[in-house]
Amino acid sequence: MLNIALQGIVQGLTEFLPVSSSGHLTLFQFFTGKSNLAENLLTDIALHFGTLLAVIYYFRNDLKPFFSINGWKQQSTRKLAGLIIIASIPTAIMGIGLKKQFEALFSSPKAVCIALFITGLMLLLAEKLKIRTATVENCEEMSFGKAIFIGFIQGCAITPGISRSGSTISAGLLGGLNGEEAARFSFLLMIPAVSGATLLELRKFFESSTNLPISGTELMIGAAISAITGFLALKLLVFIVKKQRLSIFSYYLFFISILSFIAITGK
């Protein structure tokens, strides 16, 4: 019970903060000796479901127009839907086409450490190189070309250790969005990506296992903790992005990646 609770906290914090939840969970499972792949898979599904609920609740006002006829009459709603759909295409292609290659990296903690370090560099460079004055007032005004680019970057973030939120927010900033709008598009884009990945992983679990390796109560506790922690982390990240201080996460990633790499090498 304690283990699933800790993983829920790790997932909730790292899914939205630009430090890579998959990378942290891989290292957490490595250092705690969690070797039951079926249990890890089902746990990851439950924890990702929790953070998915958190982002849906946080952006509930942005999502309301998609569920009403009047909402679809607005050009901004149709444009945002189109941007999300077209940005999701490269993510889906990369996720399905390179699935086995990405999954292999989960068994290589050293590769995860390197990817965490790369995420730190990416955040640092994005803050240093981004256009100081936003050229796009809100993400509904963004071009489809920039949306495709952000979707491609999100596809690369399937690599454990590459932060999905960090990479897509950085891409949005470099594309001319201000911090708040870059974060908004990043997390709206997360909803179809994580929903699709969760459904695929759930199907994979049921195809490979007939017995639950972990109790339903533990899964619900983990999902609830990841949802609550994730909501708080999301609010914190939006505040930090507004203050243009994303680079503070870079130094954390440099520290944790180097320290973990040394610990793994000596283990």
pLDDT value at residue 37: 46
Residue 14 vs residue 62, higher pLDDT: 62
Mean pLDDT of the chain: 85
pLDDT at residue 232, as a whole number: 95
Q: Which residues, other chains included, contact 217 with Cβ-Cβ below 8 Å and sequence gap of 6+?
A: none
pLDDT digits (tens, 9 = 90+) for 117-145: 999 999 988 888 765 556 666 889 899 99
> Per-residue pLDDT tens for 46-96?
888 899 999 999 999 999 999 999 999 999 999 999 999 999 999 999 888
Residue 33 pLDDT > 80, yes or no? no
Contact by Cβ (8 Å): 76, 188: no
CA pair distance 62, 257, nearest whole angstrom: 35
Structure tokens at 213: 């390796």
CA distance 92 to 90: 5
Q: Which residue has the tokens 């922690």?
A: 229
- 210: pLDDT strictly greater than 90: no
Residue 3 has pLDDT above 60, yes or no: yes
Entry pTM? 0.85
| pLDDT confidence bin for 107, thresholds 50/70/90 | confident
Structure-model confidence comparison of residues 169 and 127, the more confident one: 169
Query: DSSP readout, 39-107?
Result: HHHHHHHHHHHHHHHHHHHHTHHHHGGGGSHHHHHSHHHHHHHHHHHHHHHHHHHHHHHTHHHHHHGGG
Q: Across the strands, what pairs with 136?
A: 177
Q: Is the pLDDT of residue 23 over 80?
A: yes
* pLDDT at site 29: 76
State how far the Cα of 191 lies from the Cα of 181, in Å rounded to an integer.
Answer: 16
Best CA proximity match to 169, nearest among 156, 179, 158: 179
Q: What is the mean pLDDT of residues 154-175?
A: 89
Q: Give the pLDDT of residue 213.
A: 59
Question: Which is more confidently placed, 37 or 240?
Answer: 240
pLDDT at 106: 67
Identify which has the larger pLDDT, 131 or 168. Answer: 168
pLDDT at 36: 47
pLDDT at 10: 81
Report DSSP state, residue 140. Answer: G
Chain centroid to Cα 7, Å, comes to: 15
Supply the DSSP string of 176-190, one letter for each residue. TB-HHHHHHHHHHHH
Q: What percent of the chain has pLDDT over 70?
A: 88
What's the pLDDT at 44?
Answer: 78
pLDDT band for 247, please (50, 70, 90 cuts): confident
Position 103 scores a pLDDT of 65
Is 6's pLDDT higher than 60? yes
Round to whole Å and give the CA distance between 7 and 10. Answer: 5
